[in-house]
Chains A and B, each alone.
Chain A
Amino acid sequence: MSLASVKEYFAPDGTEKVLELLETYGDGALIVAGGSFVHGLDARDLLTGVEALIDIQNLGLGQITLEAAGLSIGATVTFSELRQDNEIQTATALGAVRDALNCPPLQIRNVATIGGNIAAACPYFDLPTALMSVDGVVQACGPDGTREIEMQAFFSSLFQNSLVAGEFVTGLLLPPLPGRSSSAFIKLETNANDLAIVNVAVRVSLDESGICQQARVVVGGGVAETPIRATAAETVLQGERMTDELLQSASAEVPSDLQPMSDHRASAAYRSAVAKTLTKRALARALARLD
């Protein structure tokens, strides 16, 4: 790690102090926690001019609590900690989150935090795709107080989130989902430590008679500048019974919502084709979890 311009490392013990530092340093501040993607940002030249690292691990944001509003996850909860949470381990609706948390290797799971993984707005990450499928809501704090941002609105473009100056991510809320909900996540990668070529998370929420009340098909991994919802596929699923033919025709709609990129990992055409196949498999996996 070089981070040539960094001059200070702060580890404040209160939110107010973080806000003060963000005001003082402006664009020259970088919020850090586990630090596992700082190198990734640096390697992409996204940290030029960063003078101050602000470590938020002493703010008490390491809690996971099950509340009426949903599962509340503090920004500095690590992948390992979330993976051990009872709700994450057992809830059928959160299967996609469980799948995504299994992807990174041990050394990353032990330090990477939920807040950092979201705030980085990296389209190749796994967890954001999974979290979007279960309608996760980002919680942020800034000079004007706290606010909640739907994940889809949170990611604005490649490595860009929609936080305004002085704001930072404090946590994530996973609200209760309707009916019988189940979700699943699948990733295509070249090796265990690689970013996704394509990843897909799906969620179906069925009513008592097995009709789909609500569907989410989310695709990430370089199929657009952010993880995106494949709404055409969702529309096919909505109001229908989950037959093999339906899963097939929903998956076939996925490429119409993508604007995949071509890079050293894969061509755009390959990403499109894979996204379609992974969607079909993820839907089958989610439905199998309801049996």
Chain B
Amino acid sequence: MKKSVSFEVNGQHQELAVAPSETLLQVLRDQLRLVGAKRGCDSGGCGCCTVHVDGKAVYSCMTFARSLQNCKVTTIEGLTKKDELDPLQTAFVEQGAVQCGYCTCGMIMSAKEFLSKHEQPDEDQIRHAIAGNLCRCTGYHKIVRAIKIAGQTTDLAGE
């Protein structure tokens, strides 16, 4: 039976009717038409559905939407402020880290939480931070480089 859940997505209040086993990913893509988070493996193994719930990176494909009452969800679409890209997004563009693009939104959302807690991380730390995200193009070098560059320019206190 569907029930109403009220939560925030990218700063906007939402009140949606949600089925018991419906996932956050389904709600984002099918109801809210926010298609940045991708449906890859749909089983918490690839990371391309990663979004933030209350500031923490989660796999939206295994998050029950009904568990989100009063939570704050941020998706890749919510990182862009007034048409200005987040420093991570800029770094991905400039370093050519997007490649086919399928993993990108998840990679950035994982890196976003990581960079909010680690100042100027080294390559090893970055590789561990994105261990839950797969890039099927296997272009990890550019991704790691982009995160490193963003980490050098991101102010920890910011955002």
Q: Which residue of the partner chain, among B56, B61, B64, B113, contacts A55 with CB atoms under 8 Å? A: B64
**Contact A9 B69, beta carbon cutoff 8 Å:** no
Q: Which residue of the partner chain, among A8, A104, A107, contacts B20 with CB atoms under 8 Å? A: A8
Chain B residues, CB < 8 A from A52:
20
Q: Which residue of the partner chain, among A1, A6, A53, A193, contacts B61 with CB atoms under 8 Å? A: A1
B14 at the interface (CB under 8 A from A): no
A73 at the interface (CB under 8 A from B): no
**Contact A9 B64, beta carbon cutoff 8 Å:** yes
Given A6-B21, A9-B3, A106-B129 contact (CB < 8 Å): yes
Given A110-B56, A192-B131, A192-B132, A53-B20 contact (CB < 8 Å): yes
Whole-angstrom CA separation of A11 from B3 in the bound complex: 12
Whole-angstrom CA separation of A80 from B132 in the bound complex: 14
CB distance from A101 to the nearest CB of B (A): 13
Q: Which residue of the partner chain, among A6, A53, A104, A111, contacts B63 with CB atoms under 8 Å? A: A111
Chain B residues, CB < 8 A from A108:
44, 59, 132
Which of A34-42, A59-67, A270-278 lies at the interface with chain B? Answer: A34-42
Q: Which residue of the partner chain, among B23, B45, B67, contacts A1 with CB atoms under 8 Å? A: B23
* CB closest residue in chain B, given A33: B67
Chain B residues, CB < 8 A from A80:
56
Whole-angstrom CA separation of A29 from B63 in the bound complex: 18
CB distance from A7 to the nearest CB of B (A): 6
B153 at the interface (CB under 8 A from A): no
* CB closest residue in chain B, given A3: B21
Whole-angstrom CA separation of A32 from B64 in the bound complex: 10
**Contact A110 B67, beta carbon cutoff 8 Å:** no
Number of A-B contacts defined by CB within 8 Å? 89
Grouping DSSP codes into helix (H, G, I), strand (E, B) and loop, the B interface class, with mixed when no group exceeds half, is mixed
**Contact B3 A107, beta carbon cutoff 8 Å:** no
Chain A residues, CB < 8 A from B134:
193
Given A3-B21, A105-B131, A39-B43 contact (CB < 8 Å): yes
Whole-angstrom CA separation of A52 from B64 in the bound complex: 13
Q: Which residue of the partner chain, among B59, B63, B66, contacts A11 with CB atoms under 8 Å? A: B66
Q: Which residue of the partner chain, among B62, B110, B114, B131, contacts A35 with CB atoms under 8 Å? A: B62
A57 at the interface (CB under 8 A from B): yes
* CB closest residue in chain B, given A53: B20
Whole-angstrom CA separation of A45 from B119 in the bound complex: 44
A43 at the interface (CB under 8 A from B): yes
Whole-angstrom CA separation of A108 from B58 in the bound complex: 7
CB distance from B19 to the nearest CB of A (A): 8
**Contact A11 B20, beta carbon cutoff 8 Å:** no
CB distance from A45 to the nearest CB of B (A): 14
B47 at the interface (CB under 8 A from A): yes
Question: Which residues of A, 1-15, contact B by the 8 Å Cβ criterion?
Answer: 1-3, 6-9, 11
Q: Which 9 A-B pairs have the closest CB atoms?
A: A105-B132, A192-B131, A9-B20, A3-B21, A9-B66, A110-B56, A6-B21, A105-B131, A107-B132
Interface residues of A, Cβ cutoff 8 Å to B: 1-3, 6-9, 11, 32, 35-36, 38-40, 43, 52-53, 55, 57, 80, 104-108, 110-111, 192-193
Interface residues of B, Cβ cutoff 8 Å to A: 1, 3, 20-21, 23, 42-45, 47, 50, 56-59, 61-64, 66-67, 69, 110, 113-114, 128-129, 131-134
**Residue contacts A-B, CB under 8 angstroms, 13 given:** A1-B21, A1-B23, A1-B42, A9-B3, A35-B64, A39-B62, A55-B66, A106-B131, A110-B57, A111-B58, A111-B62, A111-B63, A193-B131
Given contacts A52-B20, A107-B59, 7 further A-B pairs with CB under 8 A are: A1-B61, A38-B62, A39-B42, A53-B66, A104-B132, A106-B131, A193-B44
